[in-house]
Amino acid sequence: MTTISPDGKGSEFMARRSDHAPDELKRLALDAARAIAAEEGLRGLTVRRVAERIGYAPGTIYNLFANLDDLIVQLNGMTLDALAVELGAAADAAPRERPKRLVEAYFDFVESRPRLWSMLFEHRLPEGAELPDWYRPKLAALISLVAEALGPLMPERTAEARQDATVTMWAGLHGISTLAVSAKLTLVAETEPRRLGHLLVDRMLGG
């Protein structure tokens, strides 16, 4: 059996292993990829390193995923799912509390998973490659979740206007978060990122 060192790297590979069913092995690979990405970001993520961490040969990973891009897209999908859980919990608050709770939940998520969050936007598919059919609906569902949660605070706006406002708020929070996690916000102003996030959302909801 492959020996795994304290840093998670295998000292050698076996040509074949059959310890896990394919679904279980895929989950192990995604968990390993998530751990590597959380520690080092997109640049540290390779098929070989994922294989080493779970004690399998790299070829096994290619039996589970079409390529590294496929693995990353699936990992990003898991990140979106996790964000949906956090935002969904915040959206359960009383209507007037929702803007504050949603902003706090967003920043909590970004600050607790900065490299995984950044990977959502850093990863680019090769030219001509398309995202899988299931990916874009995850993004759309997140926007719809927030638009529906904030709907009671925008009663005079049409559904389209509420959607546009939500996308604008999302884009603004993304910009603030990007500056904050890259330590570039201080180049603009010595301001707490969450304060700017709350200000943005309050202004958008105020019309």
> Consecutive 10-residue runs of the chain (207 residues): their mean pLDDT?
40 50 93 97 96 95 96 97 97 97 97 95 94 95 95 94 95 93 85 94 90
Was domain 22-64 assigned CATH 3.90.1720.10?
no
What is the distance between the alpha carbons of residues 207 and 194, in angstroms, rounded to a whole number?
20
Question: pLDDT at position 17, please?
Answer: 53
Is 76-205 in CATH node 2.40.50.140? no
**What pLDDT score was predicted for residue 21?**
86
Cβ atoms of 129 and 75 closer than 8 Å: no
Query: What does the domain layout of the chain look like in residue ranges?
Result: 22-64, 76-205
Indicate the DSSP class of residue 31.
H
Could you give the CA distance from residue 37 to residue 97 in angstroms, rounded to a whole number?
Answer: 33
Q: Which residues of 53-73 are buried (b: 16+ CB within 10 A; e: fewer)?
A: bbbbbeebbeebbeebeebbb
